[in-house]
Structure 1
C-alpha cells in the first residue's frame, strides 16, 4: 500500500476531531481526517440533536476564553452556511442542594459558577424560587431555591454544527476519509506512520480525538480515563407550552450533594411538542467503547420519578431514548497534550461531559500547539498529579 504524506493526521471526527481538522486546514497545513464511521453518527458522544453551552463555566476559569471563542466561531460558521447553529435562549442553573451540588467533579458548583461570572464580567442575574416560577413556568422550585440565569447561554445544534465544521475543513483543503478503520500507528522519531484497513499514511504529527476509544487505542498514556455510559431521553410534557423556547431556557438543576443528583434539559426544538432531558451517572463504568451504549425504559422512569417529579411542571410521557458515553478524568478537566513517549502524538480526550461547548476553540488551541511546538495549558497536561493520582485521591477523600 502506498505511503501518502501529510502534515497532520486527525483520528476521530466527532466534535473535537472536526474542530481540530478545521483549524489545522485553515492554518494552511496538509491535513487528513479519518473516522471509522461516517459523522455525524450515534456511536460516540457527538449526537443527540443539542448540546448545552454557557459562558460562566463552573468547571473552571480556564474554560471561559474557550467557550467565548467557540461562540464567535459558531457565528462565523453561521454566516458562511446560512444556517443557525447557536441558539442563545439563555441558561438557568437552579440549586436546591443547599450549596453542596456537584458537577463534573466540582463541588459547590452553583457558587463556582456565580464567582466565575463575576470575575469575567459575564452578564447574569440571580433569582429566588418565586422569581423562577413566575418567569419560567416550566419549573417548580421552592421559594428558597437559588437561581443563576445567563442570557448568553443556550444550546448548539449538534449534527448541523458537526457538518459545518467538516464542510469548512474540506473547503480549506482537508481530506476526509470515513468508514476507514484505524488499527494503530508508529513513531520512528522522524515522523508518524498510520496504518488503516485501506492504506498507510505518513505525517509529521498525529492528533488523536477518538473520544471514548482513546483509552483502548493509547493504553497506559490514558489509563486514568474512565468511561461512563449516559442516557438521553425525549419526553412529552403535559404542559408543553411552558417549555416553548421563548419561555424556557436550557437548564441545569442541582438537587442534592452527590454527583448524580442533577438533571439538565432543553426547551422544545422545532415544532415537536417534546423536550430532551437527561441526568448524569458516574457509578457504573464501561470497559469497551465498541459495544453499543445502552438505553432503556427503566432509566427513563428513574429520571422522571426521581429527578423530574415535583420539579418540572406537569407530567411526562416517554417518547424515545439514546445512549452515549463520557470519557472522564478524575479531576473533571480535559487531556490535551503530547504523549510522553511519542511527542509527535497529541491526545485530545477526557472531555468529562462538558467538552462540546469548547470544541471550536480547542481546535484552534491544538492547531497552535502543532505549529508552535509549544506546551498545552497546565490544567490539561497529561502528567498532572490530579490526573495520574486522581481517582485514588478522590475516592479516599469520599
Structure 2
C-alpha cells in the first residue's frame, strides 16, 4: 500500500471514529489492552530481535533500556489503555454557551483533530500509548517509529489492529508505517489533504528535521535538557534524593536530569556527597572549574555540554554565584521541558516558578514526574515544549480542537 493510500484510509477512518460513542471506544480500548496481555510472549520475542540488533550496533545501555519490553512494561501499556476507559470522553463536550442580543445560541464544542502522524524514536510503548490516546480522542493515527524498534512496533500495531476487528472501530484508525526511510517521513509530512497534525517525539535532531520538512502543523515535543538548581537555603538530603532520581532512575528518557547547578554557598557541603553518589551509580561528570576541584576524574564541561540532552549516564555540573545566575543559566540553555529548584526559601521558590519559562517548573520534586500518567492524564502522547495549542504532558484533551455551533430562528444580518 502506498503512503498516500494509507493516509487516505486514515482520513476515512477518522470520520467514522469521530462519530463513535464512548461505549464503542472504551470497548475497543479494553479489547486492545486484553490483546497486549494475551500476546505478551509474541511481543517479547519480536522485541528481542530489536534488542539484539541494538547490542550489535553498540547502542548505549540507557537507549537499550528505552527499547526493552519487560513483562511490567507490557502490563503498563495495557493498564494505560484500561485507564483511558475510565476517563471522560473528551469529544462533544460543550465548554461554553451563550445567547447573543439577536437571539443566536452559540456554543463551543470539542471535536477531534482528525488524522495524527506520530513520529517517534526507540520506545515501543509509544505505539500503544499513542494508539490509545488517539482512539479515545476520536482521532485516527499513523505511527512511524524508528528502525531500532521496527520489529517491536510492527508486533504491537498488529496486535492492536486485530483487537479492533470486532469492535466497530475501523482497523485503519491505527496504521504503522513500516518504511523507516527519511524519504517516507518527508512524504508524509507534506500530505496536507489527509493528515491534520504531526507530533515528533524524540531527540533534538528528529524534531528539527520534522519541523523543517513539514507543511502540515507540528507540535514539538520531547527534547529534555532538564535542570536542577540546589539553592543556598536548600535541604541537602532532599537535593541529593532528587538529583539521583532525576539522573539515575531512567537516564534515557526526556524528563531525566541533564544539568545540576549548585549555589556556591552550599557547594562544599553538597557536591562531595552528590558526586560520590553519582560516581557510584556510574554517572560521568562534566563540570566547571570549581566542580573539577572535587575530583580528578571530572572532565571539563564545554558550552555544548550545558546545551545537550545526553540520554545517558552523563551529567553537566556548574557552581553558580547566585539565584539570579542559576535562573539566567536555565533560561539560556533549557529546552523548555522541565526544570527544578530545591530550596527552603518561599520567595525563591515563587520567583523560580515565575521566572523559569518551561512547560513544567518544579519546587522540591523530581523532573521525572513530567509524565501524563503521573499528572493524572492517563497515558501521554508526548510532552510539548512549545506554547501553541498544547504545552507540557499531552493527554486526550490536547488531541482535541473545537468548533462553534450556532442555532437561530431565521435571523439574517443587516
What's the TM-score once normalised by structure 1's chain length?
0.30
| Larger proportion of helix | 2
Q: Which has the higher contact order (CA 8 A, sep 6+)?
A: 1
Larger radius of gyration: 2
TM-score (norm 2): 0.29
More strand by share: 1
